[in-house]
Amino acid sequence: MTTVIRNSISFRGFHKLKKLAFLYLVLLSLNVAGQEQNSAATDKTTKVSGRVTDASSGAPLPFIRVGFQGSSISTSTDNDGNYTLSAPGLFSEVTFSSMGYMPEHRKINPGQTNAVSLKLRYAETQLKEVKVTSAKKKRYRNKDNPAVELIQQVIDHKDQNRMQASNYLQYDLYERIALSFFNLSEKFTNGRFFAKYKFMLDSTSKISGKTQVSLPALFSEKLSKNYYRKDPSKSIQIINAQKQTNILKFIDTAGLEVYLNRLYGNNVDIYTNNIFIINRQFLSPIADHAPNYYKFFITDTIKTAPEKLIEISFTPRATGDILFEGKLYVTMDGNYAVKACELNVNKEININFMRSLKIRQDFKRDSGRYFLAKSNVQADFGFLKDKGIGIFGDRTAVFTNYKQNAPQPDTFYDGKDQQVLENPKQNDTSYWAHNRPDTLTHQQATVYAHITKLEKLPAFKRDTWIASTLTGGYANWGPVQLGPLGSTYAHDSQEGSRFQIGGRTTPGLSKIIYLDDHIGYGLRDKQLKYNLNTYISLNKVSPFKYPRDYFEVSYRYDADLPGRSMAVIPEQAALTSFSTGKTDYWLYNKTYTIAYARDFENHFSFNVALRSWNQQPAAFLQFKSNNDNAALIRNLTTSEVELNMRYAPHEQILQGTQERHTIKSRFPILNLKLTHAFKDVLNSSYTYNKIDANIYKRFYFSQLGYADITLIGNLTTGKVPFPLLSILNANQSIAYDEDAYNKMNYLEFVADHYVGINYTQALNGFILNKIPLIRKLKWREFLSFKVLYGGIRNENNPALSKNLYLFPVGVNGSSGTFALGNAPYVEGGVGIGNIFKFLRIDVIKRFNYLDHPGASPYGIKLGFRPHL
């Protein structure tokens, strides 16, 4: 029995063991089959490529993220919207996503090569902001922050990655800039006035992520070859072709293009510490000290077949500062180069009228270095923050055909910085279609034809005439311009109400001879004033435009303040009718002039003049001899030769109708004036020499704004009465004058030698942006400090030397004019600007010479000028 039972148990155990062995073999075979299947899958590669465009405008979309669904493998489109995504594995779906656009998904064939191009639609309905808060907010720190450590690597590798690291570099550049008006009201576009211009409207513009109806105003294209030499530094641009059309015929469009290119970043270099754009210096997110001003976060990893990128997001620590926010895409190949970047700004930034700013740049790898391939800057401006008519600017630059270390002959680099080739095909449509390395949208391609059609409309010519008159101050009347209209009426203490009419000729009358004349009359002094100018242009360019090359003959008789001709600050003429204190001293100047002026392409210019100058005192001003007879002198005549020299290297100008304006930059401006007077020539009474020097420079300090510094100096030799000395530049109007002494009275100080410094620091809101509530106002701080040191030699001091004129006396009989003593004249000021976006108020303190009649320690000056 025992044996049977034991055998029975053994049989059942063996049967069970066979079943377990069979199950093991089945599972083993399934595992092997699975491994074989997985191996087969990994042996196959899924590849997808194509192009992503905007569904509305058809424009290529850069920086769109493209990834395989269910994986971390992704890439992004380049600036032309193209992409290629490839990875081992069987992927059946690809996703497309970007902030502001509706995400898209597309089915693909696993393990095969796929072509997928699509159009993304903008998400018109934006999600409202969602804030997540916790009981304890984690403090942001730079220490032990992997994003900051990565950014520091980018900073440390800047010198080797930037384009300028090459000893020699050349490339082709295509530039395009477009300007348009948007947010036009339906009442305006559907009204009778605009009915004839409706064909100009573009209904597909993408502005700030939204489809807008816009009115193209300017469209410009340029093709050039560019050459760079590192040592000694030299950059040369040779323009092969340029083409422009615009509806802004009433302003200087050549200067406007220079200004717009500067405004919209003609050289946005992410590798520099500061990026100059929108008339501001933005601190680059990879500046040497960027971690002190930015917060950095690693937000994504992008893996593609050739490279791995880290996406770093960044925001300003203080939202009102002149800083960017956006994303950087950094290579992880050991070079830590920027492969692409997105630079935007938040709405709290202290820049007026700007609604949005978007900069996108894409870099391409070439010979181990990443070179800029495409740059796009878009910004829109408007008086109101979120509504009303606006101006949208779009600047695109495409860089191709890079060549490193291929130097040109040494003589080549001696050429001009900018050269223009004659190209008869530059207006030919087929030429541009063949040579343009970028694709225009349909609307962009039709701008040229539309504006050509517009210019032929009589109504457009009439409306342009009105706009030109209002903006330029001159009314075109055939070959003559009437104006300037802003000088038609003025008021002062000597003339009372003054009325003036004038005009000038245009090239339509003659390209060689130009006339510029006006006649004025004061109701109080009952004096007729006039200014008669005749110009002979040697280069057939108007004497009011650059470059000048002309002879001038003029005769002027007018009322002036001593030391200040016309006493008007052009930009603030309305304020100069109001003065602090009483203006007691006036002159009637009668001047005959023969002059020659010349501008050179390197922005060196000179003006040499022969002048006969007669001064007649008026009001309480008297010319009285300090000899024993105390005789009154009715007038003072001098004959002078004067040489003015000016050098403004790398100057860019915006040409106005009456004068040209320098677009201020980091380059200095130097002025030198030499004057010699001849005695007994044309009734001249004295011989003397004058040297006047002036050096101006703007210094940029990134987040601390900028400083304008002017050094001035004068030396007068010879024995002369006080009207021929240097009358120091005073300002009694309520308008603030950066170049004058704003708490000094007219004719208060005279000198025959002096040196001085004027310093103005514009902080651009750096301090006020940190104060709660105040920062919402976007006010800006100004600091000013002016020092003037000099005096009069004994031979020119009427108290110590005879045969001179007594210094003028005031209304109360006290002395009204002084020489600088042992102490320099000093004044300083603190100002708040950008009040209501237009107003600036400065409180000025005068530190010494307070015992002079009419002197007061404090004063308030106003400035009324819109600024970005």
Q: For the segment 143-172, what is each residue's pLDDT rounded down to a tens digit?
A: 889 999 999 999 999 988 887 778 999 999
Token digits of residue 679: 């005695």
Say if residue 741's pLDDT is above 90: yes
pLDDT at 327 over 50: yes
pLDDT above 50 for 36: no
The per-residue pLDDT for 244 is: 87
Q: Provide the pLDDT for residue 702.
A: 85
- pLDDT band, residue 64 (cuts 50/70/90): confident
Q: According to the model, what pLDDT value does residue 757 have?
A: 98
Task: Report yes or no: 555 and 594 within 8 Å, Cβ to Cβ.
Answer: no
- What the block records as the tokens of 158 is 């800047």
Other Cβ atoms closer than 10 A to 464: 18
CB 261 within 8 A of CB 482: no
Q: Residue range 597-606: average pLDDT?
A: 94
Q: In this predicted model, which residue has the larger pLDDT, 463 or 138?
A: 463
Q: pLDDT of 652-701, one tens digit each? A: 887 766 677 787 888 999 999 999 999 999 999 999 999 999 999 999 98
Statement: residue 350 has pLDDT above 70: yes
Q: How confident is the model at residue 99 (pLDDT cuts 50, 70, 90)?
A: low
Residues 635-646: tens digit of each pLDDT: 999 999 999 999
Quick check: 15 pLDDT over 50? no
Q: How much is the average pLDDT of 357-376?
A: 87
Give the residue-averaged pLDDT of 581-591: 86
Residue 198's Cβ-side half-sphere holds a number of Cα atoms within 13 Å equal to 12
Q: Which pTM was predicted? A: 0.78
DSSP, collapsed to helix, strand or coil, labels residue 575 as helix
| Cβ 189 vs Cβ 201: under 8 Å | yes
Ranked by mean pLDDT, the top range of 45-54, 332-341, 837-846 is 837-846
Closest C-alpha to 748, from 823, 819, 813, 799: 819
> CB neighbours (10 Å) of residue 2?
6
Whether the CB-CB separation of 574 and 539 falls below 8 Å is answered with no
Give the chain's mean pLDDT.
Answer: 85
Higher-pLDDT residue of 5, 583: 583
